[in-house]
Structure 1
């Protein structure tokens, strides 16, 4: 199946681990009829969960806007929001004692 847009065809740097996972996925997909899109979704979800910037994930996925990435994978972001709220507590708590 051809890519949806011209931006979808581009080189991406892949780690050795990623290459092995893709090769393994190809074998499993042939046996189980899994979709590569499932792997793409997991890739984006894991990156965001690990704190990678939305802009970076957007570029790697080939999305045209950050909003598209955030809307599609926003279910990961509430945990990051809780971490941000805790960071504010730490900053305000430290400033309040100075």
Structure 2
């Protein structure tokens, strides 16, 4: 069972009975009671990426970081700095591949 937040209030027995009666009365839902019911549920969260990103560590000069963080034209576009950096690197990679200078 997940950790509950401080101040979590559980329903009283009368409220719980009303909830269960509502579940039984609703034709579009049912109470999950078995392990089989839980295994049929859709998983929560983001789906697995077909091409996951790779974590790297890289060192940039202060000037480069300042430019990526505060470039007005990109801030106006509303994109986070590292998203803009990734998009720029992807474009550059594609341009080099078009020119026939791919390193892969």
What TM-score comes out, normalization by structure 1 length?
0.31
Between Structure 1 and Structure 2, the one with more helix by share is: 1
Query: Which of 1 and 2 has greater Rg?
Result: 2
